[in-house]
Structure formats: C-alpha cells, structure tokens
Amino acid sequence: MISDYIDLEYQVYLLLWLAAPAALFVLHTRRNRIGGFLVYSYILSFFMSHWFGALVHASPWNYFMDSTDTVVGFKYSSYALISLIVGTLVADVLFTQRALAPSLPEHSLERRFQFVQLHYVATRILLPIGVASWLATFTFIANLPSAGAALSAGKQCLVLAICLLAWAEWHIGKPSRFAFWLGSTALLPVITVVSSGFIGYGIVMVTSVIAFTAMYLRPRWPLLVGLLVMLYGGVSLWVTYAEHRGSIRDSVWGGEDTSIVFEKVITMLANFELFELSNQDHLRNVDLRLNQNALVGAAIRNTPSMVPFRNGETIYSAVISIIPRAIWPDKPEVGGSGNYVAEHTLTTFGAGTSVGMGQVLEFFINFGMPCIVIGFIILGVALRGLDIRLAETLRANDFKGIIMIFLSGAGLLQAGGSLNELFASTAAGILCSLAIWRLLNMLDGQKSHPKVRARGPFR
C-alpha cells in the first residue's frame, strides 16, 4: 500500500523539485544574469524522467505498484538535482564578470541589420541542414558508420533555426512571426513519432525551444504559464501515445507508407486524454516510461552487494566514444546502456525495448553516491558555462559561436541517456559546427559579389 512507502520526506522531495529550479530561475533573473538555455533544458528533461514517475507513486490511487525502488531512486535523483544546481552556482562564481547581461546594440538600424543577418543564416543554412538530416534518416545514409550521431547533430540544426528565427522576430518587433515559429514546435513530437516511432525526442526539442525563449522573453509569466501547460500537456500526450504506440511503431518500423503512419497519429490525437492521477491506466503508463527512479533504486539495491561497481568503465567508454567509428573502425565494442541497466537492476527487458541508463544510475554504478554528487556538479558547471558563452555570442551576433555552442551543448541534454551518448552527441555537434563554419567561410569569401554583400558578411 502507498502508506507503507510514501512518507513526509518523500513529499518534501516532490516539492523540492518544484521549488529549487524556480528559486534558481528567480536568482538568475533578479541578478540580471544571462543565459540559462542549457541548464533549464536539462532540468526540464530531468524533471520529465523522474518527477512524474515519483508523483504517480505518491498518488492515493496507487494500489498496484511496488514503490520500494522508486522511493530510494527518487531520493538519490533529488541529490543529483541539488548537485546540478550547486554546479550552476559555482559556474556563476567562476564567471562572475562574464555572467552579467550586456545590452544589445543601441543603434536601431545596426540592431535590425544584425537580426536580418541572423534570419538569413537560419533560413538559408540551418533549416535546410535540419530538414535534410531528418529526410536522410529514411535512406541508406542512416546505416553508414557514425551516421547516427552526425544526423542527430544535423537534426538539432532545425531546433537551432527555430530558436534563432523566434529570437530575431521578437527583437525586430514581429510578434505574429515570433508566435508562428514558437508554435511550429508543436509539430516536432509528431515528426519524431512519424520518423522513428518515439515521442520523447520531440518533447525534449520543444522544451529546448521554450528554455531558449525564456532567455529573452519579457514579461516571463506568459512563458511560465505556457511551460506549466506544456508539462501537463506533455505527460497527457505521453499517456495517450502509450495506448497507441504499439500500432504506430509497427507501421514505422515495418516500413508502411507514411500516410498510414500519419493516419494513426491523427487517430491518436483524436483520442487525446488529459492525465489524471486517479486513472489506473495513466499511472501505469507513466510508471512504465517516465519513472527512471525505479531503475535507479533497483541498481542501488543490487550495487555493490550483488553486482560490483564499474570503477569508471562506462566513463572510459564515453571518452573513447568521441572518436568516430568511421575514423577508428576497430574501436572496442562497449556494453550498451540497456546492458548495464539489465545487469545492475537484475532485470530482463524484452527484445527491441529501448532502455536509457540516465546519469544518476550511471554515476552510481561506477563509484557510488560520491560520483553522483561530483558528476552532477561538473555537469552543472559545464552547462552553465556554455549558457553564459551562448548568451554572449547571441548578443555579439557571432554566428559561428552560436552554432558551435548550441550544437555541442545540445548533446548534453539527454537526461535519460548514457554518458556514451552524451559524449558522442557532443563530439558530433562540434564536427557538424565545423562543417557549417566552413560553409559560412565559403559564403564570406564570396562577399565581393553585390548580392552577397547586401546580405552582410558572416563573421
């Protein structure tokens, strides 16, 4: 029964997950600190992976789920959240001077010209790369060595383009166009369902755009309301999707015509259900895929009593994952995220089941609780440091800096993934950025042409 597991301390942790990020946000805004896109994107992703799963176990209508592992896992995940926030505060101390928000160019013509340039880069370069990367996933290209990571970075160009277009339209003073680009993010979960059969990727992309918008939108209360609606809508969309995902995935993975997949997605949306804590099916569906705490708790229960610590094994494999297999064909094979989860939770997963390890579980199985604290503090410093630099490049209209930091930083926003995936995605983002830099340099080299000069140099 619920009363056997859920105590006052557990309820305090539930409230802590709401209060701590809110307090951090208020601290940054009141002190006129810049940035926050990567930190808050990660926190939102982390929130979706842990908080809703913890919430359903605190529901008075939870009469059928064993909460033992969830309670333990959620407490350790709470320690991770606090460590992450501490890391962001450490970064603010390390970059005290740089963290203060500079102003945009005061001269209106110069300011407008910069945003026109940004608009050009987003529509003529980033959008095409993003769309092409999505289309390439349906071709033989997706099966080439290292293509998965490269295409993943390319897809992030679509998200970056939307962020930059919304940023430019807002500052130019085009609220209708700003609303259009912000609203277009609603299509991202549909795209990820149709293209891969997964909805989580699309939801993470939406949260990234909203977190990016929070950097500059004033007043912020409409965005806060929108965020709360999105979180509730996101979990509602998940429980609805969970009822139809078997049929949708059969169509996607079975290679059926895209029109059939769209038809099934439309059927799913037509049967949309709002999440209810009293609905047993909703509780079960959330617990199934939005409760990373249960896996964390099981791993803690079995490690090291039954399964020894990895002593840095997965961290080492994450480091070597930076080297593409296209460059190092004989790179050693390492255990997948699901293999480590299965071994440390002593759980057998069905064939084809995608199981994300998550950083809480991975840090613990390497060196225990100290690794969770240290690992998340380092992650917080890295995310916040990149945030501050991204805000600086945005203010300076530094296209190359924006692209590099966004694409490389986006690789770190996989709260439910493994360090291997984080490192590989970050490396792919850097390589993708360098390729785009080369393209910008080529265009910059043609600036002697009248039409190119009219659009402005890409410096």
Residues 6+ apart with CB under 8 A from 65: 56, 57, 283, 284, 287
User: Helix axis angle, 37-57 relative to 369-395, nearest 10°?
Assistant: 140
Q: Quote the pLDDT of residue 2.
A: 47
Distance, CA of 237 to CA of 250 (rounded, Å): 19
Q: Can you tell me the mean pLDDT for 132-153?
A: 77
- Answer for the pair 61, 20: CB distance below 8 angstroms, yes or no: no
Q: Can you tell me the mean pLDDT for 135-152?
A: 75
- Give the DSSP letter string of 266-277: HHHHHT-----T
Which of 32, 172, 167, 24 has its CA nearest to residue 102?
A: 32
Longest dimension (CA), the chain: 75
pTM of the model: 0.86
What is the distance, to the nearest Å, from the Cα of residue 184 to the centroid of all Cα atoms in its chain? 18
Written as six digits, the tokens of 216 are: 């500059």
Output b/e per residue, 292-330; b: 16+ Cβ within 10 A: bbbbbbbbbbbbeeeeeebeeebbbbbeebeebbeeeee
Distance, CA of 20 to CA of 416 (rounded, Å): 20
Q: Quote the pLDDT of residue 14.
A: 95
Which of 85, 60, 49 has its CA nearest to residue 292?
A: 49
Position 95, amino acid: F
Q: Can you tell me the mean pLDDT for 126-151?
A: 80
Average pLDDT, the chain: 82
DSSP-assigned letter for residue 140: G
Distance, CA of 97 to CA of 86 (rounded, Å): 19
End-to-end alpha carbon distance in the chain: 62
Residue 333: exposure state from Cβ atoms within 10 A (0-12, 13-18, ≥19): exposed
Top-confidence range, 75-79, 108-112, 255-259: 75-79
pLDDT band at 330 (very low <50, low <70, confident <90, very high): low
- Give the DSSP letter string of 120-166: HHIIIIIHHHHHHHHHHTTSGGGGSTTHHHHHHHHHHHHHHHHHHHH
Which of 160, 228, 182, 172 has its CA nearest to residue 21?
A: 228
**In the structure, how many helices (H) and strands (E) does the chain have?**
20, 0
pLDDT tens digit sequence for 37-52: 899 889 988 998 999 9
Top-confidence range, 20-24, 215-219, 331-335: 20-24
Distance, CA of 422 to CA of 411 (rounded, Å): 5
pLDDT band at 457 (very low <50, low <70, confident <90, very high): very low
pLDDT tens digit sequence for 332-373: 665 556 688 989 999 887 665 667 789 999 999 999 999 999
Please list the residues that pair with 33 across neighbouring strands.
100
Q: Quote the pLDDT of residue 385.
A: 92
Distance, CA of 91 to CA of 103 (rounded, Å): 21
> Which has the minimum average pLDDT: 114-128, 210-224, 303-317, 399-413?
210-224
Q: Quote the pLDDT of residue 336.
A: 54
The answer on pLDDT for 99 being more than 70 is no
Q: Can you tell me the mean pLDDT for 242-266?
A: 78
Residue 45: exposure state from Cβ atoms within 10 A (0-12, 13-18, ≥19): buried
Count, residues in the chain: 459
Q: Quote the pLDDT of residue 347.
A: 85
Alpha helices per DSSP H over 31-94: 37-57, 68-94
The answer on pLDDT for 377 being more than 70 is yes
The answer on pLDDT for 101 being more than 50 is no
Q: Can you tell me the mean pLDDT for 139-167?
A: 83
Q: Quote the pLDDT of residue 109.
A: 63
Q: Quote the pLDDT of residue 102.
A: 46
Which of 38, 43, 65 has its CA nearest to residue 53?
A: 65
- Answer for the pair 287, 53: CB distance below 8 angstroms, yes or no: yes
Top-confidence range, 105-109, 191-195, 320-324, 410-414: 410-414
- The proportion of the chain whose per-residue pLDDT surpasses 70, expressed as a percent, equals 83
> Which has the minimum average pLDDT: 145-159, 290-304, 354-368, 402-416?
145-159
> Which has the minimum average pLDDT: 327-331, 397-401, 437-441?
327-331
> Which has the minimum average pLDDT: 60-69, 87-96, 117-126, 256-265?
256-265
Q: Quote the pLDDT of residue 324.
A: 66
pLDDT band at 162 (very low <50, low <70, confident <90, very high): very high
Q: Quote the pLDDT of residue 204.
A: 78
Q: Can you tell me the mean pLDDT for 434-457?
A: 64
The answer on pLDDT for 445 being more than 70 is no
The answer on pLDDT for 209 being more than 50 is yes
The answer on pLDDT for 272 being more than 60 is yes
pLDDT band at 299 (very low <50, low <70, confident <90, very high): very high
**Does residue 112 or residue 166 have the better pLDDT?**
166
Residue 143: exposure state from Cβ atoms within 10 A (0-12, 13-18, ≥19): exposed
Q: Quote the pLDDT of residue 37.
A: 84
Helix (H, G, I), strand (E, B), or coil: what is residue 33?
strand
pLDDT band at 136 (very low <50, low <70, confident <90, very high): confident
The Cβ of residue 226 has, within 10 Å, a number of other Cβ atoms equal to 16
